[in-house]
Amino acid sequence: MSRLRQQTLLTGCVLAALLATAGLFVTEYGIDPQTWLIGLVLGFLLFLAVLDPWLHRRRAAGPSTDADLDAACAALSVALKKQWQDECRARGLDADALDVRWTATQLDVSDLPSAPPGRVDAVVGAFERQPNHRVVVIGAPGTGKSTVAMLLAVGLLDRGSGEGVPLLLPLSTWDPAAEDVRTWFTRRLHEDHPALRNTELYGSYAADLLVEQRRLIPILDGLDELPDAKRGDALASINRAFPTTPMLLTCRTAEFARAVNRAGPVPGADVVELHPLDLEDVARYLRAGADPVTAAGWEPIFLHLRAEPEGRLADALSTPLAVWLADVVYSTGDAEPSELLDRGRFPDRRSIEDHLVDSLVDRSFGSRDAAHRARVSQVWRTAHARRWLGFLAHEMRDRGIRELAWWELRRSVGSTWLALLGAITLGTIGGFGVGWLMAYASTPDLAPITGLGAGVAVAAAALAASNRTVRERTARQHLGLWRSLLLSSAVLGTAVGLVFWALYGAEAGLVVGLGLAVATALRFALSSSAELSTASSPKWTMSRDRTAVWAGSLVLGVVFGAAAALVFGPNQTGMVGLGLASGLMLGFALAVLHLRWWWFTVARVWLALRGKLPWELMQFLEDARALGVLRQAGACYQFRHALVQDRLADQPSARERATTSV
């Protein structure tokens, strides 16, 4: 559904509800309520027929045309440009950055002659100069491979490359044994940009055809994040799926060499290796970001680096990640950089990196100065933040993932517990709403039985819904008859309306039938995403679910309010308010059954009660991103680097702190 039709449908649903209410209570002008409601029902059905995508299915029945795909590429470019430019600003890449260089690797992992040397700030030019536009970037952990991938995506989007739209995806979300790389690529495209399933705008199979026709440039980050046993098969699958497509692949050096030994080199690709940082560049960067007092504190470190250019400290500060960590940790002046010279505390590179990661969390949280600079919502206590981040890191490591999707938090609670908690809660809310209404109706003796029956029915529906996947569904590429806006709204409204007509009279049947038709149409409108040009983010994806929840709850609340006034107390004005409150509760219980937001909320509340996560989880994650501990990749969060996640997950006292800290 197009954006214009979506807004028109939303407006029409609101007007229908308002006009139905007006027709019931504004009677001094001689308007017959039944005549008014019948006319309104017929008018609303005609309105739906005009907007129904199924009745316009000729436009979307066939595969996407070239014009459809051009429009999809244009909108997708806008969304991705917003997303990655925002992430660049969040990581401070718009400021003076470290000068990272690369040269052709000396390993025998390429089928092309040696690539020319280059610099990270010229990554787009180097990519475009490569004859096949195919590059593999390798290097040690923390050398900036992911940064190169992101800068290439931003640069190509800025230039509007005619080769296609660059799509940056972390390979850690792919299981080569479960699905082909093209299937995974298409699935991720659907998940991160659900508007591609809008057949009215982009035709059928838009995402599949974007991949098939090579309108996308795969930027695949982190081949090394896959298990070693699967890495060779993964590289072979990439080589088969994208034999000549422009692409960029990143991987750690040793892991890539082993993968090439099993699967062969990437056809037609230059393999470049990122160099350790030059010590003078490190000194210049740290001086530039420090005030005079802090800069003076770095001088003993610089003298040591010059005296021992092959030493443990020079080795530790040879990557952009470590230098950035050192700058963040010692920029406040709370600690002296000279402590890194202590060979007893820091005998090797690993101990220095661990210290910097630990200090990143300690300095970022619990500090008013850090909170003010990052403009975060509040000052989170250090012990709490470390415990929460440690829990998330443990959960991610146990599941073998590097991305934190908010809707996957439900996996941190046992599926049985989650189903029971969600079902009991929804059953209680829905059953209480119905029982409360019946208690003040004409048959109060039936209130307990009615409420219990409604609660059991809602709980059973919740149990059934909990067993279904919460992942974004792939599109039904054709608009079948039963996905018709008009038919689905009319059938549901008519069926329930006739029941109420037989039990309580024509007015009640018309009100309830129209209300359910409006609710169905509203859900149809809210489930149809037309915002392909909107940058994907955790907050945006969650807001779509929340909007559907509250809109559905409000509509059903209005329906119950009007029905209660007509059926149980036509002369009792209090029944309208009671019906509205009861309807809101039952409407909420029914609206959230199949939404990811509800099951995320159940898991979040349960984990917060146990002290494993904060109550304001999404705000905490967003603040952790602003403080540099996390980063954002589309609709998911990641730790700033795998080293940060691994360090938090490896700490042996993390689980003990989860039970002993307050």
CA distance 257 to 151: 24
Q: Which pair of tokens denotes residue 186?
A: 């298409």
pLDDT at residue number 594? 75
pLDDT at residue number 161? 64
How do strand 404-405 and strand 247-252 relate by DSSP bridges?
unpaired
Least Cα distance to 559 among 523, 594, 509, 521 occurs for 509
pLDDT at residue number 658? 43
pLDDT at residue number 546? 80
Tell me how far apart the 2 most distant CA atoms of the chain are, in Å.
Answer: 98
pTM of the model: 0.82
Least Cα distance to 272 among 109, 56, 458 occurs for 109
Give 562-621 pLDDT, tens digit per residue.
777 667 765 566 677 777 788 788 878 877 877 788 889 889 999 999 999 999 999 999
If 0-12 CB within 10 Å is exposed, 13-18 middle and 19+ buried, where does residue 499 land?
middle
CA distance 528 to 202: 13
If 0-12 CB within 10 Å is exposed, 13-18 middle and 19+ buried, where does residue 273 land?
buried
Q: Name residues of the chain where pLDDT drops below 70.
A: 1-2, 24-30, 56-62, 94-98, 111-112, 114-115, 118-121, 161, 333, 442-443, 467-483, 527-531, 565-566, 569-574, 652-662
pLDDT at residue number 442? 65
> Domains (ranges, CATH) in the chain?
1-51+482-593 (no CATH), 96-274 (3.40.50.300)
CA distance 389 to 639: 9
**Residue 204: DSSP 8-state:** B
pLDDT at residue number 655? 44
pLDDT at residue number 2? 66
